[in-house]
Chains A and B, each alone.
Chain A
Amino acid sequence: MALVDDRRHDMTFFQKVANTNWFLVILIGLTAGFGIAMLYSVAGGDMSPWAGRQAIRLAVGVSLMLFVAFIDIRIWMRLAYPLYAVGLVLLLIVEIMGEVGMGAQRWLDLGFFNLQPSEIMKIAIVLALARYFHGLTAEDVQRFRWLIIPLFMALVPAGLVLIEPDLGTAILLLMLATAILFAAGVLWWKFALVFIAAVAAIPFAWDRLHEYQRERVLTLFNPERDPLGAGYQIMQSKIALGSGGVWGKGFLLGTQSHLNFLPEKHSDFIFTTLGEEFGLVGGLILLGLYTAILLYGFAAAFRARSQFGRLLAVGITTTFFLYVFINVAMVMGLIPVVGVPLPLISWGGSAMLSILIGFGLLLSVYIHRDIPIPRRPGLDPT
Chain B
Amino acid sequence: MKRDANTQRTFTRRALLLGGAQGALMVGLAARMYYLQVVESEQYKLLADENRINLRLLPPPRGRILDRRGTELASNQQNYRVVLVAEQARDVSQTLDSLSRLIPLEPRDRAKVMREVKRRRSFVPVTVAENLSWEEFARVNVNAPDLPGIQPDIGESRAYPHGQTMAHVIGYVGAVSESDLTGDPLLELPGFRVGKSGIERTREDTLRGSAGVSRVEVNAYGRVIRELNRREGQPGGDVRLSIDAELQSFAMERLADESASAVVLDIHSGHILTLASTPGFDPQAFNIGLTQQAWSDLTSDPRNPLLNKAIAGQYPPGSTFKMIVAIAALEAGVVAPDQKVFCSGHVELGNQRFHCWKRTGHGNMNLVQAIEQSCDVYFYDIAKRVGIDRIAETARLFGLGDTTGIEIPAERKGLVPTRAWKQARIGEAWQQGETLVAGIGQGFVLTTPLQLAVMAARIANGGIPVKPRLIVDGEAAQTPAAESERLPVSRTSLELMAEGMRRVSNVPTGTAFGSRIREKGMEIAGKTGTSQVRRITRIERETRVLRNEELPWEERDHALFVAFAPVEAPRFAASVVVEHGGSGSRAAAPIAGDLLRRTQEIDKAIRGRVASGAPGPEERG
Q: Do A and B bind each other?
A: yes
Interface residues of chain A, those whose CB is within 8 Å of chain B, are: 137-139, 141, 179, 182-185, 236, 238-246, 255-256, 258-261, 275, 279-280, 283-284, 287, 290-291, 294, 298, 301-302, 307, 310-311, 314, 318, 321, 324-325, 328-329, 332, 334
Given A275-B37, A280-B37, A302 and B12 contact (CB-CB distance below 8 Å): yes
B26 touches A259 (CB 8 A): no
A185 touches B15 (CB 8 A): no
Instruction: Give CA–CA (A343, B539) in the complex, Å.
Output: 112
A and B contact pairs by CB, cutoff 8 A, 30 listed: A141-B7, A179-B18, A182-B14, A182-B17, A183-B18, A185-B11, A241-B33, A241-B36, A241-B37, A242-B37, A243-B47, A244-B37, A245-B41, A256-B52, A258-B219, A259-B218, A261-B51, A261-B52, A275-B33, A275-B36, A275-B37, A279-B37, A284-B30, A302-B15, A307-B8, A321-B25, A325-B25, A325-B26, A328-B29, A332-B32
Instruction: Give CA–CA (A298, B18) in the complex, Å.
Output: 10
Instruction: Give CA–CA (A49, B8) in the complex, Å.
Output: 48
A332 touches B33 (CB 8 A): yes
Give min CB distance, B56 to chain A, whole Å. Answer: 16
From A185, which residue of chain B is reached at the shortest CB distance? B10
- Of residues 1 through 30 on chain B, the ones whose CB sits less than 8 Å from some CB of chain A are 3-4, 6-8, 10-12, 14-15, 17-19, 22-23, 25-26, 29-30
Give min CB distance, B31 to chain A, whole Å. Answer: 10
Give min CB distance, B74 to chain A, whole Å. Answer: 41
B18 touches A314 (CB 8 A): yes
Give min CB distance, B578 to chain A, whole Å. Answer: 67
A183 touches B15 (CB 8 A): yes
Instruction: Give CA–CA (A298, B15) in the complex, Å.
Output: 8
B44 touches A283 (CB 8 A): no
B15 touches A138 (CB 8 A): no
The reply to whether the CB of B225 lies closer than 8 angstroms to some CB of chain A is yes
Given A318-B22, A332-B32, A261 and B220 contact (CB-CB distance below 8 Å): yes
B7 touches A138 (CB 8 A): yes
Instruction: Give CA–CA (A325, B26) in the complex, Å.
Output: 7
B38 touches A280 (CB 8 A): yes
- Select one of B3, B17, B51 contacting A137, CB under 8 A: B3
A185 touches B7 (CB 8 A): yes
Residues in chain A near residue B37, CB distance under 8 A: 241-242, 244-246, 275, 279-280, 283
Give min CB distance, B220 to chain A, whole Å. Answer: 4
Residues in chain B near residue A334, CB distance under 8 A: 29, 32
Query: Top 6 closest A-B pairs, CB basis?
Result: A242-B44, A243-B48, A259-B219, A185-B10, A280-B37, A138-B6
B32 touches A307 (CB 8 A): no
Most chain A C-beta atoms within 10 Å of own C-beta, residue among B17, B19, B26, B218: B19
Residues in chain A near residue B36, CB distance under 8 A: 238, 241-242, 275, 332
From B41, which residue of chain A is reached at the shortest CB distance? A245
A287 touches B26 (CB 8 A): yes
The reply to whether the CB of B292 lies closer than 8 angstroms to some CB of chain A is no
Instruction: Give CA–CA (A259, B10) in the complex, Å.
Output: 52
In this complex, the interface size class of chain B, counting residues with CB under 8 Å from chain A, is 35 or more
The reply to whether the CB of B34 lies closer than 8 angstroms to some CB of chain A is yes
Residues in chain B near residue A239, CB distance under 8 A: 44, 47-48, 51
The reply to whether the CB of B217 lies closer than 8 angstroms to some CB of chain A is yes
Instruction: Give CA–CA (A43, B47) in the complex, Å.
Output: 23
The reply to whether the CB of B43 lies closer than 8 angstroms to some CB of chain A is yes
Give min CB distance, B418 to chain A, whole Å. Answer: 73
Given A243-B41, A259-B52, A279-B37, A307 and B26 contact (CB-CB distance below 8 Å): no
16 other contacts beyond A138-B10, A301-B11, A332-B32, with CB at 8 A cut-off? Answer: A137-B7, A184-B14, A238-B36, A239-B51, A242-B48, A255-B48, A259-B52, A259-B218, A261-B219, A261-B220, A280-B33, A280-B38, A290-B26, A307-B11, A314-B18, A321-B25
Give min CB distance, B27 to chain A, whole Å. Answer: 9
A138 touches B220 (CB 8 A): no
Residues in chain B near residue A185, CB distance under 8 A: 7, 10-11, 14
A307 touches B48 (CB 8 A): no
- Of residues 189 through 226 on chain B, the ones whose CB sits less than 8 Å from some CB of chain A are 217-221, 225
Give min CB distance, A201 to chain B, whole Å. Answer: 23
The reply to whether the CB of B540 lies closer than 8 angstroms to some CB of chain A is no
Residues in chain B near residue A260, CB distance under 8 A: 219-221
Given A275-B33, A290-B26, A318 and B18 contact (CB-CB distance below 8 Å): yes
The reply to whether the CB of B45 lies closer than 8 angstroms to some CB of chain A is yes
From B20, which residue of chain A is reached at the shortest CB distance? A298
Given A243-B41, A302-B12, A329 and B18 contact (CB-CB distance below 8 Å): no
B33 touches A294 (CB 8 A): no
Given A137-B7, A260-B219, A298 and B32 contact (CB-CB distance below 8 Å): no
Give min CB distance, B412 to chain A, whole Å. Answer: 58
The reply to whether the CB of B178 lies closer than 8 angstroms to some CB of chain A is no
Instruction: Give CA–CA (A200, B315) in the complex, Å.
Output: 99
From A320, which residue of chain B is reached at the shortest CB distance? B22
Instruction: Give CA–CA (A236, B52) in the complex, Å.
Output: 12
Given A239-B51, A280-B37, A332-B36, A321 and B22 contact (CB-CB distance below 8 Å): yes
A182 touches B219 (CB 8 A): no
The reply to whether the CB of B40 lies closer than 8 angstroms to some CB of chain A is yes
From B5, which residue of chain A is reached at the shortest CB distance? A138
From B29, which residue of chain A is reached at the shortest CB distance? A328
Residues in chain A near residue B22, CB distance under 8 A: 294, 318, 321, 325
From B218, which residue of chain A is reached at the shortest CB distance? A259
Instruction: Give CA–CA (A324, B25) in the complex, Å.
Output: 10
From A255, which residue of chain B is reached at the shortest CB distance? B52
Instruction: Give CA–CA (A138, B4) in the complex, Å.
Output: 8
A259 touches B18 (CB 8 A): no
Give min CB distance, B162 to chain A, whole Å. Answer: 49
Instruction: Give CA–CA (A239, B43) in the complex, Å.
Output: 8
Instruction: Give CA–CA (A318, B17) in the complex, Å.
Output: 12
Instruction: Give CA–CA (A259, B51) in the complex, Å.
Output: 9
Give min CB distance, A186 to chain B, whole Å. Answer: 9
Residues in chain B near residue A287, CB distance under 8 A: 26, 29-30, 33
Instruction: Give CA–CA (A258, B353) in the complex, Å.
Output: 94
Give min CB distance, A183 to chain B, whole Å. Answer: 5
B404-415: CB near A (< 8 Å → 1, else 0) gives 000000000000
Given A138-B10, A245-B38, A256 and B18 contact (CB-CB distance below 8 Å): no
